[in-house]
Structure 1
């Protein structure tokens, strides 16, 4: 059953149909279900279902969200450059387009809402409180549209580099939902200069009783990354004392330094 599809026609009426593909494979062997007119149509979205948890002789129901359509194929700027010189503005535009396509090539695994806040150290005359170092407050608000089937979710935070591995923290486990709400705050005592050279790794995990935990998705925030992770990190550093909140896309790329127990 399919629910909540956005209307694609002006009259909000459409003959929807679904194509099934068994991947991976040298070619896509598909099966079409639903609808009658399958010759032409507008692509609405897709979802991939891992079959490793399906047991023999057992019916299993999956509840998934459709993902955004994949980007259209385009000619890479490097291929064009081999044949003819390009004006600098055109080459820059093509390179940005190629860079965006590389980012979108990662599989989206859902979203996470994070808040960042840096509290500077208190002055000596304020009495009590922080001395010398500030406080970085990381808020894990909630996740949305996670691409998992049986999900008991926890978020792990790791502020690196960290030779002593004392900066790893994780939230409580929220059970049986693809849209868990955490509303938790984690605290790191750190100076502004140290924080500017750190990377915050955020990974989301599915906890399975009696089995190894499954990685759902992750994102890294620091000055060494691009896009929203960079903008969020810089907004935190520039706006001392203010809490800055932003949604981030979770991807299937597991940070190299992460090992989750």
Structure 2
């Protein structure tokens, strides 16, 4: 038994030696693992921290990792497309501007022969109307006679000649409308003549007007083309300043018809107000003092006027106030003050709009007259505004003649909507 036990280990010894000799072949694996670990320890700790933080954030999103990557890729693509669209738009705008400049250069240089520049400075008399859009509108024969004893003005419409054709057939259906401004209390019309450019009216109209008013009035004769089912088109008009007429004899003469005025010179009354601006405090004070000779809007021959005071900034409605209502008067007295906060930087971009309205209880309020002041104004309105700016902290009062709302609105074109903030494309 003992010999068998001792021989067993002897018989197995070669195997043990073989296994012992194969053991060193495992050491390279152990060495590689150790080298890998030591390599990880050499990474930048900041970068490793960022990577771990990003992985942690991605793990918090309740979506598969591929879905998260897809969303990020789509967002990056959308941003890239938006940038590309902006670049294309800027390039197109630049090209369009260059084309417009070239077009303007062609227009400005048209007709210049390159030999002399005298025509650009002082054209010949025969070339003054070259290229203008003025077209002959015809002639009108009229007469004027004034009877001082009866305070009566007689306006005769005799005939017209070579009128402008307004119909498709090359003819017109003319008639004449006659009135006196600024009062315009009465409007007269002649008969309508069919299909003719040289009608013979031979009609006379009378107007009751004093000698004092006559010298400040204007006779208006407007020739219209009659249309049964649409608006009558004006062919042309004559305006005769009655203060320049010699009334010692009857006036009868031909005159060329002129282009009609855009707005009627109607007497809408006057308004007086004062302006005061304090640059250091940024305060604009408007004092509505009084108005006179306002237009009658009610059946009883009076009105219920009140005044709106409005500020516009960069051609947009900004701030507004209004006075009290004065009942049944055409000469209201207010003496009401309004103060607005307007910085020195804004005062150059502000316009002041003063409008007079007739208050109605049951119906819509009616505009009686309007006026605006500011750097965009002209005439007495601009002068009043300039006087205010040149005399800071000092009230400057002045009377102004009211204009029609249509005329003021067409001059001071306001923008209706405020600009929306720019939205991001993503």
For normalisation by structure 1, the TM-score amounts to 0.59
Describe the shift of the 1:109–1:33 C-alpha distance in structure 2 as closer, same or farther (beyond 3 A). Answer: closer
Distance in 2, matches of 1:31 and 1:154, equals 36
From 243, 261, 266, give the equivalent of 1:107. 266
SS at match of 1:174: coil
Describe the shift of the 1:162–1:172 C-alpha distance in structure 2 as closer, same or farther (beyond 3 A). Answer: farther
SS at match of 2:402: strand
User: Is the CA contact (8 Å cut-off) linking 1:148 and 1:178 kept in structure 2?
Assistant: yes
Distance in 2, matches of 1:175 and 1:242, equals 32
1:137 aligns with 2:285: yes
Larger radius of gyration: 2
Structure 1 position 16, deviation (Å): 2.6
Q: Relative CO higher for 1 or 2, CA cutoff 8 Å, sep ≥ 6?
A: 1
Which residue number corresponds to residue 211 of structure 1? 363
Structure 1 position 32, deviation (Å): 5.8
Distance in 2, matches of 1:215 and 1:258, equals 20
Describe the shift of the 1:252–1:190 C-alpha distance in structure 2 as closer, same or farther (beyond 3 A). Answer: same
1:44 aligns with 2:213: yes
Deviation per residue, 1:205-226 (Å, 9 max, x gap): 0011101111100111011121
Describe the shift of the 1:118–1:224 C-alpha distance in structure 2 as closer, same or farther (beyond 3 A). Answer: same
Describe the shift of the 1:241–1:224 C-alpha distance in structure 2 as closer, same or farther (beyond 3 A). Answer: same
Distance in 1, matches of 2:415 and 2:363, equals 18
Structure 1 position 190, deviation (Å): 1.0
Describe the shift of the 1:107–1:163 C-alpha distance in structure 2 as closer, same or farther (beyond 3 A). Answer: closer
Structure 1 position 24, deviation (Å): 6.9
Distance in 1, matches of 2:150 and 2:190, equals 30
User: Is the CA contact (8 Å cut-off) linking 2:273 and 2:288 kept in structure 1?
Assistant: yes
Describe the shift of the 1:165–1:32 C-alpha distance in structure 2 as closer, same or farther (beyond 3 A). Answer: closer
Describe the shift of the 1:212–1:162 C-alpha distance in structure 2 as closer, same or farther (beyond 3 A). Answer: farther
SS at match of 1:217: strand
For normalisation by structure 2, the TM-score amounts to 0.38
Distance in 2, matches of 1:223 and 1:173, equals 30
Question: Where do 1:14-163 residues align within 5 Å?
Answer: 14-17=149-152, 22-23=186-187, 25=189, 30=205, 42=211, 44-45=213-214, 68-70=216-218, 73=240, 105-121=264-280, 130=281, 134-150=282-298, 151-161=303-313
Q: Which structure 2 segments of 5+ residues have no match?
A: 1-147, 155-178, 180-184, 192-202, 220-238, 242-260, 417-426
Give the superposed CA RMSD: 3.9
What is the count of residue pairs matched by the alignment? Answer: 186
Structure 1 position 44, deviation (Å): 2.0
Distance in 2, matches of 1:223 and 1:23, equals 38
Distance in 2, matches of 1:147 and 1:210, equals 20
Deviation per residue, 1:164-204 (Å, 9 max, x gap): 85511110001100000010011111112311221111110
1:169 aligns with 2:317: no
Task: Return the structure number with greater helix share.
Answer: 2
Distance in 2, matches of 1:224 and 1:163, equals 10
Structure 1 position 229, deviation (Å): 0.2
Deviation per residue, 1:77-104 (Å, 9 max, x gap): xxxxxxxxxxxxxxxxxxxxxxxxx799
Deviation per residue, 1:134-158 (Å, 9 max, x gap): 1000010000000114300010011
Structure 1 position 108, deviation (Å): 2.6
SS at match of 2:385: helix
Deviation per residue, 1:27-68 (Å, 9 max, x gap): 78745679xxxxxx94725xxxxxxxxxxxxxxxxxxxxx94
Distance in 2, matches of 1:160 and 1:166, equals 5
